[in-house]
Amino acid sequence: VLFCHPAILGDEFTGSYSEVDSAIEQHLLGETTNNPSEATTLLLIRAIEYSQLPTDAAAAAEEPEIDVRAKRRQNFMKILSNVISHPENDVYRRLRVSNRFVADLLAVKYAEDFFKVCGFVRTSLPLAQKPSNVETAPPETDEGSGPVEPVTEDFLILPASSMEGLTHLKSMLELLETAQPIVPLVFRDTTVLQVGILKRSPYIFI
């Protein structure tokens, strides 16, 4: 069986599903230099379609695989939508990396690249920040090793958005909402014959 994608790879390129799929991915990666917003969003959409079910067996059993992937895509959209609707609210511009909801999204390939293109910056912050007017004891030290480094936690933080920044987020959200995954297509010269319903495989590729 041969596959292709003329719109992305031209009319002459054909190959196995994995060969064409890899070529599509490489093409989109190349486009991240010229058009990072669109290319990275399309890479993310593809990655969501290929993403794995939750490792938690109970959670995985609750929803079909297709629903898990659809929900992940909706969650990416929700993050952008919240920022666009409430641009001055720090709550929506700060994502705790260790949060279960955020961690599930970051497990998707190209997710962090997507957030970076959106403007989010990975930042390490102290676990507990006391008000500046509260006196605190000097940091404990290990004998001979100096002050103990404070415990930090990683966040993805989006700086305060300008109008230009919001327009950028809106365009990425629109693409995330409307674009279809770019995947290999069956080569047009491959004949597909449907056979009897009782056969083991409903299709034969020639």
Q: Determine the 3-state secondary structure of 206 from DSSP.
A: coil
**Residue 120: predicted pLDDT:** 95
pTM higher than the cut 0.85: no
pLDDT score of 27: 97
Question: How does pLDDT run along the chain (206 residues), one tens digit per residue?
Answer: 999 999 999 999 999 999 999 999 999 999 999 999 999 999 999 999 999 877 664 555 566 667 899 999 999 999 999 999 999 899 999 999 999 999 999 999 999 999 999 999 999 988 765 434 434 445 555 555 666 667 889 999 998 867 788 999 999 999 999 999 999 999 977 554 444 433 443 433 33
The backbone region for 144, taken as left when phi is positive above 0, alpha when psi lies in -120 to 50, beta otherwise, is left
Is residue 77 a contact partner of residue 13, using CB atoms and an 8 Å limit?
Answer: no
- Architecture of 3-130+148-186 per CATH? Up-down Bundle (1.20)
User: Residue 52's pLDDT is what?
Assistant: 85
Give bridge partners of residue 157 from the DSSP assignment.
94, 121
The residue with tokens 């079909």 is 64
Q: Provide the pLDDT for residue 109.
A: 96
Domain ranges of the chain: 3-130+148-186
Confidence (pLDDT) at 143: 59
Return the SS3 of 94: strand
Instruction: Report the C-alpha gap between 174 and 77 in whole angstroms.
Output: 9
Is there a contact between 204 and 192 (Cβ–Cβ < 8 Å)? yes
- Identify the H or E element spanning 203: strand 203-205
Q: How far is CA 145 from CA 62, 149, 159, 182, 195, in A?
A: 50, 11, 36, 54, 74
Q: Distance between the two ends of the chain, CA-based, in angstroms? A: 7
